Structure 1
Amino acid sequence: MNILCVAAHPDDTELLCAGTLARYAQDGHQVTIAIFTDGSIGDAVVKPEVLRVTREKEARNAATLIGAHLIWAGVTDELVFADREQRHLMIDVLREADPDVIFTHSPNDYHPDHRYVGQLVFDSYFQKGLPSMPNQSRPACRFAQAQLYYMDNICGIRFDPTEYVDITETFETKKAMLACHKSQFVAMEDLASTDMNEMIEIHARFRGLAAGCRYAEGFVRVDAYQRGLTRRVLP
Structure 2
Amino acid sequence: MKLDILVLAVHPDDAELGCSGTIMRHIAEGKKVGIVDFTRGELGTRGTAETRDQEAADSAKILGLHARENLRFRDGFFQNDEAHQLEVVKMIRKYQPEIVLSNALHDRHPDHGRAGDLSETSCFLSGLPKVETSLDGIVQEAWRPRLVFQYIQDRYIKPDIIVDITPYMEAKIKSIQAFKTQFFNAEVAGGPATYISSPEFFESVIGRAREFGKAIGTTYGEGFTSRKLLGTDNLFQLR
Name the TM-score, length of structure 1 as normaliser: 0.85
Where has structure 1 moved over 6 Å in runs of 4 or more? none
Q: Which residue of 1 aligns with 2:214?
A: 209
Q: Which residue of 1 aligns with 2:41?
A: 39
What is the CA distance between 1:132 and its match in structure 2? Answer: 3.9
Q: Which residue of 2 aligns with 1:19?
A: 21
Q: Which residue of 2 aligns with 1:10?
A: 12
**After the TM superposition, which residues 173-184 of structure 1 pair with which residues of structure 2 at under 5 Å, given as runs?**
173-184=171-182
What is the CA distance between 1:129 and its match in structure 2? Answer: 3.6
SS at match of 2:117: helix
Q: Which residue of 2 aligns with 1:76?
A: 74
What is the CA distance between 1:175 and its match in structure 2? Answer: 0.8
Q: Which amino acid aligns with 1:150?
A: Q
SS at match of 1:183: coil
Q: Which residue of 1 aligns with 2:98?
A: 100
Q: Which residue of 1 aligns with 2:169?
A: 171
Question: Is the 1:35–1:73 contact (alpha carbons within 8 Å) kept by the matching residues of 2?
Answer: yes
Task: For 2:69 and 2:38, locate their aligned partners in 1 and report how far apart those are by CA, in whole Å.
Answer: 8
Q: Which residue of 1 aligns with 2:193?
A: 190
Task: For 1:165 and 1:135, locate their aligned partners in 2 and report how far apart those are by CA, in whole Å.
Answer: 34
What is the CA distance between 1:79 and its match in structure 2? Answer: 1.4
SS at match of 2:228: coil
Task: For 1:66 and 1:142, locate their aligned partners in 2 and report how far apart those are by CA, in whole Å.
Answer: 29
Give the aligned CA root-mean-square deviation in angstroms: 2.6
Q: Which residue of 2 aligns with 1:148?
A: 148
- 1:18-52 per-residue CA deviation (whole Å, 9 max, x = no partner) reads 000000110010001111111111116x5xxxx11
Name the TM-score, length of structure 2 as normaliser: 0.84
Q: Which residue of 1 aligns with 2:119?
A: 121
Gaps of 5+ in 2: 185-189
Work out the percentage of aligned pairs sharing the same amino acid: 29
What is the CA distance between 1:141 and its match in structure 2? Answer: 4.6
Greater per-residue helix proportion: 1
What is the CA distance between 1:65 and its match in structure 2? Answer: 1.7
Q: Point out the more displaced range, 134-143 or 71-80.
A: 134-143
Question: Is the 2:23–2:33 contact (alpha carbons within 8 Å) kept by the matching residues of 1?
Answer: yes
Gaps of 5+ in 1: none
